[in-house]
Structure 1
């Protein structure tokens, strides 16, 4: 079971940039971070409109003098306080991630950032260098990867239960943007605006989630080259894609394919990963996070359930919050991530080795590199490019 005593009495003073009134992802951050009393929300620059920020923040119970017009003001003023924030979460559109994360690190704050980390490989490396220089924890909210069964899958691959890994099928293909919803949705509008979203829409928005699942489950696999084709089925979204397919060749000879789409009409998520080995295969689907399909060649297919004694037992896998049989979901996964971020931050603050796995600045940088290579391939006529 999950160890709720691990961080008792060790709440971190926490601030947020973005994620204000009406923000779905902002609520996810708050609902997850506050779950285990690991963080206390004491400051915020929630909105580009100062009055909306104040109104929203006061409704959350935050003192008026700790609600700020912008992140620069928050970082500067909080640094003057003996009880100033120690960590900040960034829940803003893509184009602002780099500048806010850089400023936070320069203010000696630990950082938790939405993905994509930034727009370019060079920016990602700058954030890595600054994270190391400042000796801070930098977490990236690949929010699905707190699910217990993904770490069971990782352990099964590590222990050879699947044999040699041959194929990885990845997909995140919903249908919610199969029409031009951006004409009436501000949240969809910025995602298809290059100046805010970057060079890619669905690959950055959901494709990197699918790609990171493969890195969690099979971190030993290294991409050698990839080929990407992408489409704008809603023509007004061009040059950004609303559908993309990526083929991957790994250094050990394994292959992978990734389908990212916002125009899979009728689909809720279809966020799945299937890892195929020489002896067996496993499959996980985020709409059924408690289960992991396990299929051994020549034997009846079976389904492994979260929280059961037959799973591998270690500190990473034993993170079920409600016992086997009870449904867990996205908030549980995010809460597990925030718990890991807190454990890592406390270790870093005490000059101890960080022994817990969490999506880090290095993982965020890998996602940025993946996107850059996909765009390079697609813009070159969907040719193979070296990774």
Structure 2
């Protein structure tokens, strides 16, 4: 169980690019990074392309005005001159900026935490992976839901054979908050997401399904995707060629099958985010809107509801427990868990501790690359008329 004690020698000096007042993810980053004040300390930022707004916002966060910068290049240059300069940067900007900022950060000798989808092309991911290895730095990806510890329970159940042979993977991330064009025109956090030049080749596939696809990789690390078929739609016509709804069929190398539904136009749905793994003996299901419960269904037996933090759960699950079974956890704790693991990974990399890195489960550069591959292959399949394409 986690209780706030330090996992590393001292907090990393941390900065953000983006994540300012008009964004909708910056606060999640800060909740995650600062929930354990032994892991990160926010000391600098280039929070906004509007410098005056950046300064006003940053001062309200408690950051010194002399460490609030008009852009990331200036921040990297000026912080490098300081004996107490930043060591880590989080990138919470639109998709089309991720590659250049990540590359600049690594070249400046910084560890990187970046929003998803990481980049537009797999080749960009491989280039950044090689650069990170050269610079001996960590690149983490904020698949923010993946820190829910019951996913680790699912992972161990799959690993230990509790479900039998894995036959089916059911994935869904849907909501109804983009059923019309209003947000496309009025929301700063939405406008760029429906602009192909800024979001890349997809909308909901990149923005939503990459989260859930990584969750499936986290739970079933030995299950390798062989091929997929994607059909995508733009029900709000002004978004074309970007999709606001998509269905993906999947075939795995071991003969298992799967499907994904990603949608921002599931009218009336507040949160349809779930992962269900079906085996030959039993099934297990996690829903983001019930993050403290895991549905476990053994064929021929009563349905069981497993509750977070209870002693019957695997040790690998309860190691990330924070509040105890009587108290609900949710998305802030999930973000805190992955940020804490980012810090542990960075510390291990700095110390040359490859054993810790090998055994640490967190969304790393490889997870980011697989997310890029997922989006790329889905778009390829859909644009060819909904045909099966090889995943590799």
Match of 1:377 among 367, 374, 381: 381
Matched position secondary structure for 2:191: helix
Can you list the C-alpha shifts for 1:311-353, whole angstroms capped at 9, x where unaligned?
A: 0113x54211110131111000000111111111111111212
Matched position secondary structure for 1:24: coil
Q: Confirm or deny that 1:14 pairs with 2:14.
A: yes
Q: Confirm or deny that 1:156 pairs with 2:154.
A: no
TM-score by length of 1: 0.98
Stretch of structure 1 that moved more, 1-10 or 359-368: 1-10
Matched position secondary structure for 1:171: strand
Q: Confirm or deny that 1:172 pairs with 2:155.
A: no
Q: Residues 66 and 371 of structure 1: is their aligned pair in 2 closer, same or farther, counting only changes over 3 Å? A: same
Pairwise CA distance, 1:22: 3.4
Gaps of 5+ in 1: none
Q: Confirm or deny that 1:27 pairs with 2:31.
A: no
Alignment of 1:177-196 (within 5 A): 177-181=178-182, 182-196=184-198
CA contact (8 A) 2:23 2:188 kept: no
CA contact (8 A) 2:49 2:70 kept: yes
CA contact (8 A) 1:307 1:318 kept: no
Tell me how far apart the structure 2 counterparts of residues 269 and 22 of structure 1 sit (CA, whole Å). Answer: 23
Q: Confirm or deny that 1:267 pairs with 2:269.
A: yes
Gaps of 5+ in 2: none
TM-score by length of 2: 0.97
Matched residue count:
386
Q: Confirm or deny that 1:364 pairs with 2:365.
A: no
CA contact (8 A) 1:16 1:44 kept: yes
Can you list the C-alpha shifts for 1:241-265, whole angstroms capped at 9, x where unaligned?
A: 0000000000000000000000000
Stretch of structure 1 that moved more, 57-66 or 257-266: 57-66
Matched position secondary structure for 2:361: coil
Q: Confirm or deny that 1:219 pairs with 2:221.
A: yes
CA contact (8 A) 1:169 1:275 kept: yes
Can you list the C-alpha shifts for 1:129-182, whole angstroms capped at 9, x where unaligned?
A: 111111111110000010010000000000000000000000001000011121
The root-mean-square deviation of aligned C-alpha atoms, in Å, is: 1.0
Can you list the C-alpha shifts for 1:95-127, whole angstroms capped at 9, x where unaligned?
A: 101110111011110000000000111111111
Pairwise CA distance, 1:230: 0.1
Pairwise CA distance, 1:23: 2.4
Pairwise CA distance, 1:307: 0.3
Tell me how far apart the structure 1 counterparts of residues 244 and 194 of structure 2 sit (CA, whole Å). Answer: 9
Q: Confirm or deny that 1:340 pairs with 2:374.
A: no
CA contact (8 A) 1:17 1:44 kept: yes
Q: Confirm or deny that 1:5 pairs with 2:5.
A: yes
Pairwise CA distance, 1:3: 4.3
Tell me how far apart the structure 1 counterparts of residues 384 and 8 of structure 2 sit (CA, whole Å). Answer: 53
Stretch of structure 1 that moved more, 297-306 or 182-191: 182-191
Pairwise CA distance, 1:8: 6.7
Stretch of structure 1 that moved more, 317-326 or 38-47: 317-326
In the other structure, the counterpart of 1:108 is 109
In the other structure, the counterpart of 2:332 is 331
Deviant stretches of 4+, over 4 Å = none
In the other structure, the counterpart of 2:71 is 70
Tell me how far apart the structure 1 counterparts of residues 377 and 213 of structure 2 sit (CA, whole Å). Answer: 13
Tell me how far apart the structure 2 counterparts of residues 16 and 186 of structure 1 sit (CA, whole Å). Answer: 18
In the other structure, the counterpart of 1:137 is 138
